[in-house]
Amino acid sequence: MFELYGQDAVKRQLYNQINKNEISHAYIFSGNPGLGKKTLAGQFAKAIFCEGQNKPCNACKPCLLVNSKAHPDFKVIKEEDKKQLSVETIRNMVRDIYIKPYLAKKKIYVIHDAHTMTAASQNALLKVFEEPPLYAVIILISQDDKKLLPTIRSRAQVLRFLPNKREEVLEYIQKNHNIDEKYANFIANISEGNIGKAESLLNNPEYFSLRQNFIESLLCLQHEKSHCFGIAGFFEKYDINFLFDFFSSFLRDALILKVLGDELRLINQDFSEKIRAFCENVTAKGILASLNLVLDTKAKMTQSSKENLWILELLLNCWEELHGESHWSQV
């Protein structure tokens, strides 16, 4: 069977096609990065080539060739900079596809970042989609299948990769990483059903301590306004996407504790006592307003436009909301 956590519906569909020998000529694997599209495309290709019983068996010659990236009939098409798949790359692939397979009955192409194909690239590919050689299988990996031409989409099977269940992500983390249960829960919650995201956070050595330090600083929002300046300093030094995630999860947790009092629903369970104490000094209305401010600011900002004034304004506004005061500029 396929070695991938979650995505059961997609795995089942592909497995049935292999068992019935009903492989399509073209697939679109669509969904957010980190959900296993490329992994499953590689395993599906391996299963198509596999000569063993339980496909992919990982023991037969074709399986071993795919594992060592040496199968001559399995090709991954990608651009190093990932920004745009050029028409030249696609034309080269189209030329290659008409050369018969060397070893297998099928010749399989996986095109990474297919949503970055220009209209010219897609038109170059369309020719193959209209009249594919019998042995050809093309798998387009795409974050957004709507960016592909309708003529491409209509000739392919679109398989949508949805976020995994939280329990699946947690199970994955616990099987693969030896970490504290509460932190595992936090990662499972913050990664929004995305095992790839969970894995990249767990492999980032800075992430754990950054979160501890940043949340400790956010807790100071219950005290004097001057703490806003210290918190703003984080945004000059660290990844603002991480910081916004921490900030919104912190406020979300504060709101849950303030309104429902339910610790089990917290993202930051390891901070429950401190967040509970924080809630005693601020209003629910203020927490909600702050959460909205954080989400609005996050939507406006990107890593490339680090506007520290926006962050400071955000923090001061949050402080005002949390303490039910009027706008800071009028004080």
Q: Write out the residues near Zn ion by the rule CB under 5 A.
A: 50, 52, 57, 60, 63
Minimum distance of Zn ion from residue 167's CB (angstroms): 31
In three-state secondary structure terms, 15 is helix
Beta strands in the chain (DSSP E): 26-30, 74-77, 107-111, 136-142, 157-160
Give the C-alpha separation, 42 to 254, whole Å: 43
| Least distance CB 261 / Zn ion (angstroms) | 54
Give 57 or 288: the residue with its C-beta nearer to Zn ion: 57
Minimum CB distance to Zn ion, residue 59 (Å) = 6
Q: How far is the CB of 15 from Zn ion (least distance, A)?
A: 14
Nearest to 140 by CA among 164, 156, 119: 156
Closer residue to Zn ion (CB): 50 or 128: 50
Listed in order, strand segments (DSSP E) in 21-123 are 26-30, 74-77, 107-111
CA gap 255, 253 in Å, rounded:
5
Of 67 and 176, nearer to Zn ion (C-beta) is: 67
Q: Quick count: other Cβ atoms within 10 Å of Cβ 77? A: 21
For 225, other C-beta atoms within 10 Å of its C-beta total: 15
Cis check: omega of the bond before 33, within 30 degrees of 0: no
Q: Are 193 and 169 in contact (CB under 8 A)?
A: yes
Q: Which is nearer to Zn ion, 63 or 93 (CB)?
A: 63
| Cross-strand pairs, 30 | 142, 160
For the CB of residue 65, give the shortest distance to Zn ion in the complex, in Å. Answer: 10
Nearer to Zn ion, 69 or 237 (CB): 69
Q: Which of residues 18 and 60 has its CB atom nearest to Zn ion in the complex?
A: 60
Cβ 13 to Zn ion shortest distance, Å: 20
Of the candidates 170, 278, 260, the residue with the CA atom closest to the CA atom of residue 223: 278
Q: In the complex with Zn ion, which residue's Cβ is closer, 31 or 56?
A: 56
Minimum CB distance to Zn ion, residue 62 (Å): 6
